[in-house]
A and B are shown apart, each in its own frame.
Chain A
């Protein structure tokens, strides 16, 4: 079947919550060809739609949801939805990605993306059902947990709806509030849940029934079959899937990179109590996959602790790292329970785990007192965690400050706490301490959204190529920063490639059959580079003096050697960080201050960025 733009639904939905108006617009062909979808659409639409200087939590900010050209098709793992906004956590470009079944449903409803602006007078739900769009009063659900709300909305609207919700943390504008879907999947990072909350948008419910147009359906079917067969034949298909992301816990400890007690150290002796094996033996209920996934990483579990019983999806590795090791919580049941509390409250477990650990360290050092906090805090204490998470989500007492994230909290608490406020650009650090892994360190320093691993997970490269050496590290980071985000552009999960060695060529092979466009893999990478430069430019447009100064890790990572474990004695001194940055900027065609040059922007077809940033550029 051929249509005007195969691979795409062909429409964007624009919603204004203030006036409760909506309209559809044809998907512009040049947007599709130059940005492809997903993260590309998010980046370009935010650039075009968000007024410069907009308050991230004001009505003029936009939330963009976007599918990709490979979303929802018969191929492995096309179930990812990308979303973004000007980030309340960093003030710059922010995005997050979510699996489950939302993206295929949205595309099946006939939309490649949704642009949401404004602020609803009352709490509201946005319901998208094929061509019909309506708004519902969400007052009855306001204040309820994210997962509880999803269950109740399914009961009210029907099982067939795919639903994204926020919890109390999003409603109360916690800077790291997430968006939840499918009973335990999250768009976790950069505070997208707070942007929903600021718009008084409790939930989006989607149901679609349309065919997804494909350029050559039979050829794409044959290629899709082949792709699944390749996955079925990989050793990791049987070996990786039973443990999912939790399976990496032991390895991260063995290489001395496991966040432990607010990144004080990098090896957690009790890690074998919170690893994938313990998850599978003690709490697993079922494997749970996203749309089209042959290697379901979702580990849906049931945990019992003295506080209570809970169902929770996970804990996955990031939660094990940040709410387990980083808070020194040492049983899989307790990590699972903390995970459940965070999920219901609608808090990102990565930032949440960082903030709690930061607070405990402040308490330990006497920078926060029992009177200020409202109770004693201790490492490994589930009650401390739950207490703080609830205070944060409701912005009560100390929670009001901690809801701002570690960067802001450290600026208020002072006493040198900025040295152990573990973030980059205002976004808390995810699950890999990089003091003994220069490529990984550079990955965190330069990720566009802040300290997140998914743009470049380079620690395996460090381990393979030499832990101290800087040689080739910047090159590798740039390469990965183009490959990995491409999955977010195309609407795919990257785990088949990362975890079971599914070859990248497979995606290049199916892309022309779906779209009818003869893009090579190099062409696709070029798009990814264009997007990378655009997100950098977005942050430079929105944040004064943005650039190099925003690309450093906290002092702990260049001043405090790792005290024990496999990475004992390691750190990366500041001059080496500068050397890494210099090389990285040079490879990228950026100036020493960390901004793209005019030439680079022009080469990538970003003249409109040059026109806007003008004098800031060299």
Chain B
């Protein structure tokens, strides 16, 4: 699968963020999500969905080679990562995040949970393998 977005459908509900934090970290906390929602208000009045494209830039720049490709997703090895932050600043999608509780950046592992529960199908699987429930 590969995440893709239709920003014009997004209603800014952030269901995807909670779904992600719960699936990946087992906690309810939209601040621990591997995707983001940017709101552009009062004008022009739209949202954009920020997702990881699995382009691999993070893996390329990681000085410790803590990020490697496994199947379709680049995954951070938390035993190696020292949270230097280089991947975060290099991500062309600005889709890597941090949280004070966590010792590595937050990065999409392509679990598909956001796709299954985005009510609007604003985030979807480009390959059509995963879809909204």
Mark A residues whose CB is within 8 Å of B: 1, 72-74, 101, 104, 108, 147, 151, 159, 182-183, 208-212, 214, 217-218, 221, 224-225, 228-229, 231-232, 237, 285-296, 298, 300, 302, 311
Q: Shortest beta-carbon distance, B84 to chain A, in Å? A: 21
Contact B132 A232 (CB under 8 A): yes
- Cα(A237)–Cα(B119), bound, Å: 9
Q: Shortest beta-carbon distance, A183 to chain B, in Å? A: 4
Smallest CB gap from A514: residue in B: B28
Contact B11 A298 (CB under 8 A): yes
Give residues 84-129 of B contacting A (CB, 8 Å).
99-101, 116-117, 119-120
Cβ of B45: which chain A residues have Cβ within 8 Å of it?
285-286, 288, 300, 302, 311
Smallest CB gap from A294: residue in B: B119
Query: Could you say which of A159, A208, A286 contacts B8, with CB atoms under 8 Å apart?
Result: A286
Contact A288 B12 (CB under 8 A): yes
Contact A151 B27 (CB under 8 A): no
Smallest CB gap from A221: residue in B: B22
Q: Shortest beta-carbon distance, A494 to chain B, in Å? A: 16
21 sample A-B contacts, Cβ–Cβ < 8 Å, listed by A number = A73-B28, A74-B28, A151-B42, A159-B39, A182-B41, A211-B27, A211-B32, A211-B101, A212-B29, A224-B22, A225-B133, A229-B133, A237-B119, A288-B11, A290-B13, A291-B13, A292-B14, A293-B11, A294-B15, A294-B119, A302-B45
- Cα(A418)–Cα(B5), bound, Å: 56
- Cα(A290)–Cα(B119), bound, Å: 12
Contact A286 B11 (CB under 8 A): yes
Cβ of A291: which chain B residues have Cβ within 8 Å of it?
13-14
Give residues 14-42 of B contacting A (CB, 8 Å).
14-15, 18-19, 22-23, 26-32, 38-39, 41-42
Smallest CB gap from A311: residue in B: B42
Cβ of B39: which chain A residues have Cβ within 8 Å of it?
159
Given A183-B41, A229-B133, A289-B12: A74 touches B31 (CB 8 Å cut-off): no
Smallest CB gap from A340: residue in B: B42
- Cα(A218)–Cα(B116), bound, Å: 17
Contact B29 A210 (CB under 8 A): yes
Q: Shortest beta-carbon distance, A602 to chain B, in Å? A: 38
Cβ of A237: which chain B residues have Cβ within 8 Å of it?
119
Query: Could you say which of A211, A293, A300 contacts B28, with CB atoms under 8 Å apart?
Result: A211
Smallest CB gap from A147: residue in B: B42
Mark B residues whose CB is within 8 Å of A: 8, 11-15, 18-19, 22-23, 26-32, 38-39, 41-47, 99-101, 116-117, 119-120, 132-133
- Cα(A112)–Cα(B7), bound, Å: 33
Q: Shortest beta-carbon distance, A355 to chain B, in Å? A: 26
Contact B28 A212 (CB under 8 A): yes
- Cα(A217)–Cα(B42), bound, Å: 36
Query: Could you say which of B22, B43, B99, B120 contacts A217, with CB atoms under 8 Å apart?
Result: B22
Cβ of B119: which chain A residues have Cβ within 8 Å of it?
228, 231-232, 237, 293-295
Contact A285 B133 (CB under 8 A): no
Cβ of A228: which chain B residues have Cβ within 8 Å of it?
15, 117, 119, 133
Cβ of A159: which chain B residues have Cβ within 8 Å of it?
38-39
- Cα(A217)–Cα(B101), bound, Å: 18
Cβ of B27: which chain A residues have Cβ within 8 Å of it?
1, 211-212, 217
- Cα(A38)–Cα(B100), bound, Å: 29
- Cα(A204)–Cα(B19), bound, Å: 27
Cβ of B41: which chain A residues have Cβ within 8 Å of it?
151, 182-183, 300, 311
Q: Shortest beta-carbon distance, B65 to chain A, in Å? A: 29
Q: Shortest beta-carbon distance, B79 to chain A, in Å? A: 23
Contact B18 A73 (CB under 8 A): yes
Contact B100 A209 (CB under 8 A): yes
- Cα(A232)–Cα(B43), bound, Å: 30
Contact B22 A294 (CB under 8 A): no
**Which 4 pairs, one residue from A and one from B, show the smallest C-beta to C-beta distance?**
A294-B119, A289-B11, A296-B11, A289-B13
Given A209-B100, A229-B133, A286-B46: A217 touches B13 (CB 8 Å cut-off): no
- Cα(A224)–Cα(B117), bound, Å: 10
Cβ of A300: which chain B residues have Cβ within 8 Å of it?
41, 45
Q: Shortest beta-carbon distance, B105 to chain A, in Å? A: 15
